[in-house]
Structure 1
Amino acid sequence: MVVPVFNEENSLSNCIERLLIQSEIDEILVVDNNSTDSTASIIHKFAEKHDRVRYVFEARQGVVHARNAGFDASTGNIIGRIDADTRVQPGWARAVKGFFQRTTAHSAVAGLTYLFESPFARIHRFALDRQVKQGKFDCERQVLAVAGANMAIRKSAWLAVRERVSDRPDIHEDIDLSLCLRKEGMTIGQIADMRAETSGRRGETPPLEYLKYNQASESVLHLHNIMNWRLKLTIWGDSMLHALVWPVYRLYNFEQERLEFRRLFGRSQGRIMPVHQ
């Protein structure tokens, strides 16, 4: 398991503790990407108590460099990957292991990712659960891309595309990895039992900053020469949707899980964006 981190002192302990519960995970590589808060000390404390936890340092700033360092240092045949604000659910690792044992057709797998710390968490969960009940995941459907917050890949597949993946920090590295796998003729599956939750705090990110974040999507598609007007409209549509729901996030008290109008007068925080323009 690889967890790239940068200044994640508030969420890291919960993330690691949930990974340690899963006996199927042989190693947990937490990659510190120049954190300036107490992230490094948290990793070291876990590493001192648990042999499965390893501290990895990556000086080159950018999640792509942290991911590469973690993937390169991994020793298992399967590499899991989540973010520091990801909470894997019970049975996550067992689902991943079972998937790769059942099939040799896919080289990577994506899971179902729910939201927490979001005013839309219940709606999002209802929509995903409805798809599960409709059987859309029963056949381990094929998808075009993995999300870095909830994925796993065969080590052999990583080695096959290692020299192909870009190290540009201004693109979405998980989309780039997915497209590189595709160019090598490898496919990605998705399963419903590989469940995790990820923070919805990115919804509080101001619209202009989020627009810059979405430019990374355009950049990676241009890099692979597959940008078209449909994809561009999809990306811009996502930016517009974010702008529409952003006021609700500004009112949302993440700790109390309720709307508070006084938050309009506070400073907007949001998550640190994992791309650098």
Structure 2
Amino acid sequence: MFFSVVIPTYNRRSLLAKALQALEQQTYNTELLEGYEIIVVDDGSTDDTLSWLEANQKDLPHVRWFTKENTGPAAARNLGVEKATGDIILFVDSDLIATPHFLQGHAEALHRAYAQYGDDKVFTYGHCIETCNLEDPTRTPAKITDFSAAFFDTKNVAIAKHLLFEVGLFDTDFKGYGWHDLELGLRLKNIGVRLAKAPQAIGYHVHPPFTLEQLPYLVSKAIQRGKTGALFYKKHPTFAVRLMVQRTVFHWWLWGILSLWGQLNEKTMAPFLQWLIERGYSELALQCCSVFLNWYIVQGVRQSSIAEPELLGGQ
């Protein structure tokens, strides 16, 4: 098998540099994995991503890159798949730092799954560890909160390319943040594609330490996630999707009560969050933000449903 590692990116030059340098340091069994390429799709970045790629191309022998107008990660990943030459697509984010045996871990897990099931209708999901250690992310230990129940999370998944084309690639109606990968995952599940864990394919999902300056961005992402969640439900109006996007009466009351119906928000909680940050608990401060961020999500879902009355469906 030959891997095409597809990485969409937007204004993340410094993190992308670390991600690509890690992927250039891979060690693997050539009898198991023939080789790999790295496809970077720049989604209309306004920073120096492209100039950095051009200046460092000699140190990035596996990398090819393409550019497009900013239309979101779904379209960017589709372009990467279309340009890929490998038979296996490995999706990673531009802020994921791979360990040296990352590709080997996916290759081993795919071979085991193919042998177990007798076909290639399977994808592997590697282990993602969240970290804010920008200098040495691999020193971060795994945590309970790193667990993800998502069926097809494109931070770290590998799948046969033909399966992606069979279900029609990512839906480019999803232009905002959230759900485009899980929506594709649902279509893959519907044709019988299975999930296989690849615990040795470890990647460190890097983000800067939480500060109050990040709050407007986080709130914007939450609102977008609510809107795209409504779109997800419109395309797949099932109870399972309603639970995923939190489009239920239970979630409305849960986050409404916990946030005091929006009274606990990024403004009113700012002093408490700053107090936690100053005492070295930035990760805890970020977790506390989930109270009002989830309230923004369920409001976004509900407001989008009201804008399109056929989405209400009994909520």
TM-score, normalised via structure 2 length: 0.65
Which of 136, 153, 156 aligns to 2:159? It is: 153
Which secondary structure state, in structure 2, belongs to the residue aligned with residue 11 of structure 1? helix
Which of 46, 57, 79 aligns to 1:47? It is: 57
CA distance in 2, matches of 1:79, 1:187: 16
Please identify the structure whose Cα radius of gyration is greater.
Answer: 2
Matches within 5 A, 1:119-268: 125-127=142-144, 145-162=151-168, 165-168=170-173, 169-170=175-176, 171-201=178-208, 204-206=214-216, 208-215=219-226, 216-227=228-239, 230-231=243-244, 232=246, 248=273, 252=277, 258=280
Letter in 1 for 2:39: L
Which structure carries more relative contact order (alpha carbon 8 Å, separation 6+)?
Answer: 1
Q: CA deviation at 1:50?
A: 3.3
Which secondary structure state, in structure 1, belongs to the residue aligned with residue 142 of structure 2? helix
Identity of aligned residues (%): 20
Q: CA deviation at 1:124?
A: 8.1
Name stretches of at least 5 consecutive residues in structure 2 with no aligned partner.
29-34, 283-303, 305-315
The 8 Å contact of residues 109 and 197 in structure 2, kept in 1 or not, is answered as no
The 8 Å contact of residues 34 and 57 in structure 1, kept in 2 or not, is answered as yes
State how many pairs are aligned: 244
Name stretches of at least 5 consecutive residues in structure 1 with no aligned partner.
132-142, 261-276
CA-based RMSD of the aligned residues comes to 3.7
CA distance in 2, matches of 1:57, 1:177: 23
Q: Which residue of 2 aligns with 1:85?
A: 95
Which secondary structure state, in structure 2, belongs to the residue aligned with residue 192 of structure 1? strand
The 8 Å contact of residues 47 and 55 in structure 1, kept in 2 or not, is answered as no
Letter in 2 for 1:107: V
Which secondary structure state, in structure 2, belongs to the residue aligned with residue 76 of structure 1? coil
Q: Which residue of 2 aligns with 1:62?
A: 72
The 8 Å contact of residues 87 and 162 in structure 2, kept in 1 or not, is answered as yes
Give the stretch that moved more between structures: 220-229 or 58-67.
220-229
Give the stretch that moved more between structures: 234-243 or 47-56.
234-243
TM-score, normalised via structure 1 length: 0.73
